[in-house]
Amino acid sequence: MTANEPLVLALPKGRILEEVRPILTDVGIQPELAFDDPKSRLLKFKTNIPNLSIIRVRSFDVATFVAFGAAHLGIAGNDVLMEFDYPEIYAPVDLSIGYCRIAVAEPKELGESDDPSRWSHIRVATKYPNITRKHFARRGVQAECIKLNGAMELAPGMGLCRRIVDLVSSGKTLKENGLVEVETIAEITSRLIVNRAALKTRSEEVSGWVDRFREVSRRAA
């Protein structure tokens, strides 16, 4: 990461990108045409700002690129930030997009009689083993996590485990799969993140972008 290389902004593909797209326009970033072309396989994009390029990666990888300094800035949900807990990442702006919550859920029938305060050990399917273990350890519950990368809601019905920890927004996915939410772990939104070293070594440029994103999200609030 040298001072004359373009700054790199890492963006998540998937649902958040839709909400990020107007924010990019508002802060004055116009990516090259391939960025909005669903047929393009390009992963790194030039922008109208000569000294800024964009990479598009999976949501968890945004945090990894920024933590290791391969990208200077990024946008990630605080579910991802909490799961990794990278000390190299600073998250100065809540963009107020990607609203959801991370929650514990279980089959409806179990939920009717279950008492979470009596748990001492639970087995959980989740994409978030660190968040899950930390959450339960705080009240002395040992959480055994089975790592899944999606479709967590299938796990209880398939006999993998009785409980899951996953993101919930409308609650539709839980409902349609016969599950109920029993506990909220954290409220989630997406944040502008920066690499702490870049904030020091390229302070003027990086803090300029932080200020612009902050201003745009304040105006949108």
Ligand X SMILES: Nc1ncnc2c1ncn2[C@@H]1O[C@H](COP(=O)(O)OP(=O)(O)OP(=O)(O)O)[C@@H](O)[C@H]1O
Ligand Y SMILES: O=P(O)(O)OC[C@H]1O[C@H](OP(=O)(O)OP(=O)(O)O)[C@H](O)[C@@H]1O
Stretch that binds ligand X, among 66-74, 75-83, 108-116, 204-212 (CB under 6 A): 75-83
- Interaction of residue 80 with ligand X, rule CB under 6 A: yes
Stretch that binds ligand Y, among 28-36, 46-54, 133-141, 146-154 (CB under 6 A): 146-154
Tell me the CA distances in angstroms from 97 to 35, 63, 187, one per residue in order. Answer: 20, 17, 12
Q: Could you count the other beta carbons within 10 Å of the beta carbon of residue 63?
A: 26
| # residues contacting ligand X (CB under 6 A) | 18
Tell me the CA distances in angstroms from 197 to 60, 160, 182, 205, one per residue in order. Answer: 20, 42, 40, 13
- Interaction of residue 175 with ligand X, rule CB under 6 A: no
Tokens of 77: 């949900």
- Interaction of residue 172 with ligand Y, rule CB under 6 A: yes
- Interaction of residue 12 with ligand X, rule CB under 6 A: yes
Which candidate, 81, 89, 34, 28, places its Cα nearest to that of 56?
34
Decide whether 117 or 170 has the Cβ nearer to ligand Y: 170
- Interaction of residue 167 with ligand X, rule CB under 6 A: yes
φ, ψ at 15 (rounded to 5°): -60, -35
Q: Note the residues at the interface with ligand X (CB under 6 A).
A: 12, 14-16, 58-60, 77, 79-80, 98-100, 150, 167, 169, 188, 190
